[in-house]
Amino acid sequence: MDFTSARKSMVEYQLKARGIQAPNVLHAMEKIPRHLFVPEELQEYAYEDHPLSIGCGQTISQPYMVAIMTELLELKPSDKVLEVGTGSGYQTAILAELAQYVISIERIHELAEEAKKRLTNLGYTNIKIICGDGSKGYPPEKYYDAIIVTAGSPEVPESLKKQLNEGGRLVIPVGGANLQVLLKIIKQGNDYLIEKHTSCIFVPLIGSEGWRKIGEN
Ligand code: SAM
């Protein structure tokens, strides 16, 4: 299969055609070999317009969702980013192309280890993967210019808001187990500006500031 052409088509027909405009996002998604982030037997579907299973009951998000969330973060090359929900590490790689430093937290040890290996093999040196509960953020490295949560939360975790730099952006799906709304929260002084974006469906954020346990949602 010609993965390079598949990637170009994904950018043209799934991303640009649906309104993704940021050149840095489009460039990163055309560059990164998404098929290397999915199990071998699913590689031929890696550039299609839907999520795919990555094992442990988790998914790699649909390309459009990765693109819109990344665009909303408005990343600059000097930014420090926190990602909650490493999964396959694909979104992590996109962030690492656009920002200076990325810390990514994954609660499932096996996924965190696989993502770490994959990203090291691809040559990334500006990523730190942590295994743990990212619903409360990662205080040792606060504050962050941008925080992205790639799992659905019943509400916006207070700890994540508090770990934003002034002007920092938090992008997070919030709502029930079967449907969420993508929120963008911007820290402005003591206030937080909230923008509502598209509807979405994510696996649950499980943790002390998300869903308390599997099955609660
Ligand atoms: N961004 C990923 C990618 O590109 O493959 C997709 C992430 S998947 C939709 C959501 C991930 O969030 C899962 O791997 C899940 O284990 C993880 N997760 C759920 N709750 C979490 C938590 N409290 N802290 C860290 N990771 C969590």
- Note the pLDDT tens digit of each residue in 174-194: 999 999 999 999 999 999 999
Q: How far is the CA of 89 from the centre of ligand 1 (A)?
A: 10
Q: Which of 5, 9, 61, 153 is catalytic?
A: 61
Residue 217: per-residue pLDDT: 46
Q: State which ligand 1 atom lies nearest to the alpha carbon of 105.
A: 25
Please determine, for residue 213, whether its predicted confidence score (pLDDT) is greater than 90. no
Q: What is the mean pLDDT of the chain?
A: 96
Copy the structure tokens of residue 118: 């994959």
Which segments of 101-190 are extended strands (E)? 101-106, 127-131, 144-149, 164-175, 180-188
Q: What is the pLDDT of residues 77-104, one digit of tens each?
A: 999 999 999 999 999 999 999 999 999 9
Q: Is 199 designated active site?
A: no
Burial of 150 (0-12, 13-18, 19+ CB in 10 A): buried
> What residues are in contact with ligand 1 under a 6 Å CB criterion?
58-61, 84-85, 87-88, 90-91, 105-108, 111, 133-135, 150-151, 202-203, 205-207, 210
Q: Is the pLDDT of residue 171 over 70?
A: yes
What per-residue confidence (pLDDT) applies to 125?
A: 98
